[in-house]
A and B are shown apart, each in its own frame.
Chain A
Amino acid sequence: MTAGGWAVTGLAFAAGICGQVLVQGPTGRDKDLPWIEGWMQEDLPSWGRGPLGHANQVRASRRLHAAPSSMAFRLSAGGVKEAAADALWLTVLPRLGRSWVEPERKGAWIEAVTTAMTDANPRALTPVIYAAYFLEGIERRHPAIERVLERAMEAREKAPFEEPRRANAASWQLPEVLGMNLYMFGTPEEKKRAVLWLREAAAMPTCPDLVIDFIAAFRAREGSPLEGWELWIHRAFQAENPEFRRAYLEEADRARLAALRRWASAAEARRTPPAWPSTVDEVLAEAPEPERLTWDSLPRRRAAVAEGVLLHPDTRDIEIPSLTARLEKEGLEDLRLLLRHFELTNGRKAASLADLDSFSHRPVAPPPRHGTRWGLNPATGEPEVVPDLADPRSRR
Chain B
Amino acid sequence: MKGPVLVVAGNTYREVGRDRMLHLLGALVVGFVLFSWVLGWLNPEEADQVRHLVDFGLAGVNLFGLLMAALLGSSLLRREMERRTLYTVLCREVTRTEFVLGKYLGLVGVFATGLALVAVLMVLYFAIFGAAPGWPLVAAIYGNLLEIAVLTAASVLLGSFTTPALSAIGTVALWLVGHNTETLLEYLQMTGKEALEIPFQTLYYAFPNLSDFNYRLAASFELPVPPSVLAFATVYAVLWVGLFLGAASLFFRRRELP
B50 to chain A, nearest CB (A): 12
The answer on a CB contact under 8 Å between B196 and A22 is yes
Contacts of A166 in B (CB 8 A): 223
A8 at the A/B interface (Cβ < 8 Å)? yes
Distance of A316 Cα from B210 Cα, bound (Å): 70
User: Which one, A1, A90, A160, contacts B217 given CB within 8 A?
Assistant: A160
A43 at the A/B interface (Cβ < 8 Å)? no
The answer on a CB contact under 8 Å between B180 and A74 is yes
B89 at the A/B interface (Cβ < 8 Å)? no
Distance of A90 Cα from B36 Cα, bound (Å): 13
A121 at the A/B interface (Cβ < 8 Å)? yes
B3 at the A/B interface (Cβ < 8 Å)? no
Question: Which residue of chain A is the closest to B45 with respect to CB atoms?
Answer: A126
Contacts of A89 in B (CB 8 A): 43
Distance of A80 Cα from B218 Cα, bound (Å): 13
Contacts of A123 in B (CB 8 A): 217, 220-221
B217 to chain A, nearest CB (A): 6
B166 at the A/B interface (Cβ < 8 Å)? yes
The answer on a CB contact under 8 Å between A79 and B162 is no
- Asked whether A86 and B55 contact (CB < 8 A) given A5-B166, A75-B180, A79-B179, the answer is yes
The answer on a CB contact under 8 Å between A161 and B163 is no
Contacts of A74 in B (CB 8 A): 180, 183
Question: Which residue of chain B is the closest to A168 with respect to CB atoms?
Answer: B221
Distance of A159 Cα from B217 Cα, bound (Å): 8
Distance of A163 Cα from B226 Cα, bound (Å): 10
The answer on a CB contact under 8 Å between B47 and A170 is yes
Complex interface residues of chain A between 1 and 48 (CB less than 8 A to chain B): 1-2, 4-5, 8-9, 12, 22-23
User: Which one, B52, B62, B180, B221, contacts A86 given CB within 8 A?
Assistant: B52
The answer on a CB contact under 8 Å between B217 and A78 is no
B28 at the A/B interface (Cβ < 8 Å)? no
A71 at the A/B interface (Cβ < 8 Å)? yes
- Asked whether A78 and B55 contact (CB < 8 A) given A93-B44, A159-B223, A165-B223, the answer is no
User: Which one, A81, A87, A121, A161, contacts B39 given CB within 8 A?
Assistant: A87
B42 at the A/B interface (Cβ < 8 Å)? yes
Contacts of B62 in A (CB 8 A): 79-80
Contact bitstring B151-191, A, C-beta under 8 A = 1, else 0: 00000000000110110011001011011100100010000
The answer on a CB contact under 8 Å between A83 and B45 is no
User: Which one, B39, B58, B173, B229, contacts A12 given CB within 8 A?
Assistant: B173
Distance of A121 Cα from B218 Cα, bound (Å): 11
A251 at the A/B interface (Cβ < 8 Å)? no
User: How many pairs, one residue from A and one from B, have CB atoms within 8 Å of each other in the complex?
Assistant: 100
B70 to chain A, nearest CB (A): 12
B141 to chain A, nearest CB (A): 14
A39 to chain B, nearest CB (A): 22
Distance of A93 Cα from B223 Cα, bound (Å): 26
The answer on a CB contact under 8 Å between B196 and A79 is no
Complex interface residues of chain B between 28 and 52 (CB less than 8 A to chain A): 39, 42-45, 47-48, 51-52
Contacts of A79 in B (CB 8 A): 62, 66, 147, 175, 178-179, 210-211, 214
Question: Which residue of chain A is the closest to B66 with respect to CB atoms?
Answer: A79
Contacts of A5 in B (CB 8 A): 162-163, 166
Question: Which residue of chain A is the closest to B176 with respect to CB atoms?
Answer: A78
- Asked whether A75 and B183 contact (CB < 8 A) given A4-B162, A165-B223, the answer is yes
B258 to chain A, nearest CB (A): 14
The answer on a CB contact under 8 Å between A161 and B173 is no
Distance of A279 Cα from B40 Cα, bound (Å): 62
A82 at the A/B interface (Cβ < 8 Å)? yes
Question: Which residue of chain A is the closest to B56 with respect to CB atoms?
Answer: A83
Contacts of A81 in B (CB 8 A): 179
A127 to chain B, nearest CB (A): 9
B63 at the A/B interface (Cβ < 8 Å)? yes
Complex interface residues of chain A between 48 and 77 (CB less than 8 A to chain B): 71, 74-76
Distance of A49 Cα from B193 Cα, bound (Å): 20
A115 to chain B, nearest CB (A): 12
B142 to chain A, nearest CB (A): 14
The answer on a CB contact under 8 Å between B47 and A161 is no
The answer on a CB contact under 8 Å between B55 and A83 is yes
The answer on a CB contact under 8 Å between B180 and A82 is no
Complex interface residues of chain B between 212 and 250 (CB less than 8 A to chain A): 214-218, 220-221, 223, 225-226, 229
Distance of A4 Cα from B162 Cα, bound (Å): 9
- Asked whether A161 and B59 contact (CB < 8 A) given A22-B196, A71-B187, A79-B147, the answer is no
The answer on a CB contact under 8 Å between B187 and A82 is no
Question: Which residue of chain B is the closest to A129 with respect to CB atoms?
Answer: B45
Question: Which residue of chain B is the closest to A125 with respect to CB atoms?
Answer: B48
Given A5-B163, A8-B162, A160-B218, 7 more A-B residue pairs with CB atoms under 8 Å apart are A75-B180, A76-B176, A80-B62, A82-B217, A84-B59, A126-B43, A160-B223
23 pairs, A vs B, C-beta closer than 8 Å: A8-B166, A8-B170, A12-B173, A75-B176, A75-B180, A78-B175, A79-B147, A79-B210, A80-B59, A84-B59, A86-B52, A86-B55, A86-B56, A121-B217, A123-B217, A126-B43, A126-B45, A159-B217, A159-B223, A160-B215, A160-B223, A161-B225, A166-B223
Q: Which residues on A are within 8 Å of B, measured CB to CB?
A: 1-2, 4-5, 8-9, 12, 22-23, 71, 74-76, 78-84, 86-87, 89-90, 93, 121, 123-124, 126, 159-161, 163, 165-166, 168, 170
